[in-house]
Structure 1
């Protein structure tokens, strides 16, 4: 990578850090507005969103960028932070719910109506999110795209941004707390999650066994270590997502049972 290309990449990641900080500040203002109106907003959601923003800042920091450029293991660590761990933490902060609560009713209805349109529903479907998230990894590591990204700063920045957005979309489509009236049933979402776990494992094994990405001037030991990081790090992130999924299912079940008991007692009285 040339010096000028490297500087452009650093400038792009710095802009992403500024955007991340702006999103965090907007979220804090939204929480403050809720509390001024004496509406409940759990502190742990603020902590979770802050953690997600913090992970993004770490992934975009100069030391991490340098490590990602010089070592495939650093690049893989960036991917895990940007595409898996940070999106889960951001998703648990329920930013969509907070946004709708702080908007005028008419504007909030327009947003929800737009979210209910067929194109948006197709884009946010778990299967679509799976292909955007995991499919991009296969394309990156099994084709010359990985090597090309280091000579094209805009492509490099776009890939980072894609990892964040696709990772958030996938996490939200599986277990997001934000309202989603057209979200598929639990069985389908669970199957998609299992498919993501399997796809991550397959990609990690392909990299380990066949030395992908090829023609990038990387040592085999470096590729194997990066593949192991993807394999085990991906398992950990997807285990967290599975726990969030089942925790949400358990809360909804308990809430449904409580409502049924209340209705039964009301009829008997």
Structure 2
């Protein structure tokens, strides 16, 4: 009987252990801010762009590269996640707020400019980078040298981006605005002469222009039409996560990882990034 009881007790212990393991996994929409109580979470879901070379690009082999990818990976590490615990989810411009609000992602690191309209819906950490709005045109086009030249011309940007609206409302009200789902579609339209210019942040445009397949086809006009401070989007009111992400960004700058990533991702395009900006969100 003693042997039987000992065996039964062991079996119960195994069942309880398995039950605890099954209940202990985290879901994509968990509200934790990282590792807590010494326990590692299964994964963290981070929204990035999939079509921005130099910033957030999904390569044919399924791997992700770019400055935003490096920032996301570094921040995730500081929150307690290894690279194999990160799930990258595509965050197109028009869906970034919804992805955060619905809990589909924990963070959005996707050339996400901090502005008051967006801050009404989500919170930000950062900024971690400062870009400026510019325009990309065909290399042989000499007719567009300033924003006003876009009047009566076809201007492309992505749905949900603030860049085209900035030109349309302030600088070239007669521009024929064409909004496409992604930058790749705009670039194809530019090459095929379906549109005359593509506008967005200079960092994004430089990444496209520097691609091997695009070398010699396009050029940056060289305008600073706006300041674009990139922040990391997160759920509104999650001050604990905001504080942790800000701390991670500061550490990335201090230990040289930020500059190393800037050089690796933007250097080949000859794009000169500004120094890391001061963190203002959450302060």
TM score, norm. by length of structure 1: 0.27
Structure (1 or 2) with the larger CA radius of gyration: 2
Q: Which has the higher helix share?
A: 1
Q: Which has the higher strand share?
A: 2
TM score, norm. by length of structure 2: 0.26
